[in-house]
Amino acid sequence: NAGVTQTPKFQVLKTGQSMTLQCAQDMNHNSMYWYRQDPGMGLRLIYYSASEGTTDKGEVPNGYNVSRLNKREFSLRLESAAPSQTSVYFCASESQGDYGYTFGSGTRLTVV
Amino acid sequence: GDSVTQMEGPVTLSEEAFLTINCTYTATGYPSLFWYVQYPGEGLQLLLKATKADDKGSNKGFEATYRKETTSFHLEKGSVQVSDSAVYFCALSDQGRSGGSYIPTFGRGTSLIVHP
């Protein structure tokens, strides 16, 4: 089915470990986004990529890096995980001018 | 900057009751407005949208009208079902500010619980 695929769905990390969250979309969308969702905080934008080859910081970029590998894939890396990064992470994509995102089903990350 | 304010939840209703979830916004340009729905354990899904003043977005029995004079985009449904239990997010995208990426500003979400 067409859409946004995120892996893994669940992950537990120890403080200081690193990991990469993967995101791929098969809708030929230009723009891709990473959000985190925390209770009572709503959605906060971490990084986004308006088009292949470009990335920009969002509201809460500290502690994260991203790579727009190609038009389909946009990965989020935690170099040294901290308990404050415990959250649910969502990837989304959009075709510019089409209004409205398509979201992945999320990655639930716990840092202990 | 742009902002979206939603009524706090949870909103608890009995099946077949009328639903209103309030949403107001502030924006410097002429935003598009959206409602997203998030079912438990899933990502957000676009529920409906409106791109200019007085437009009405509708989907699955839900409606919202873009009211520029009151800067509001309230979500309504005439008769809710248990299956409507979810978290609802209001969002705006100010095209003039964010250019081609249309980055939305999201509200904090309103949880809806519908009892049989």
The reported pLDDT for the residue numbered A95 is 74
Which helix H or strand E contains B20, and what residues bound it?
strand B19-21
| A33 in Cβ contact with A21 (< 8 Å) | no
Give pLDDT tens digits for B85-98: 999 999 988 765 54
Q: Which parts of A1-112 are beta strand (E)?
A: 4-7, 10-13, 19-25, 31-38, 42-49, 56-57, 64-68, 74-78, 87-94, 102-103, 107-111
The full length of chain B comes to: 116
Give pLDDT tens digits for A45-79: 999 998 888 999 999 999 999 999 899 999 999 99
Q: How many Å lie between the alpha carbon of B104 and the closest alpha carbon of chain A?
A: 9
Note whether A43 contacts B41, CB cutoff 8 Å.
no
- What are the structure tokens assigned to A51, written together? 């088009």
The reported pLDDT for the residue numbered B31 is 86
- Give B32's contacts in chain A (Cβ within 8 Å): 99
- Whether B100 and chain A come into contact, CB under 8 Å, resolves to yes
The reported pLDDT for the residue numbered A17 is 97
Rounded to 5°, the CA angle A39-B34-B113 comes to 45
The reported pLDDT for the residue numbered B96 is 53
Q: Scan for tokens 């920009």, then name that residue.
A: A56
| Residues 6 or more apart whose Cβ sits within 8 Å of residue A80 | A16, A17, A18, A63
The reported pLDDT for the residue numbered A34 is 97
Give pLDDT tens digits for B19-74: 999 999 998 778 889 999 999 888 999 999 998 899 999 999 999 999 999 999 99
- What are the structure tokens assigned to B18, written together? 């009328």
Confidence of residue A12 (pLDDT cuts 50, 70, 90): very high
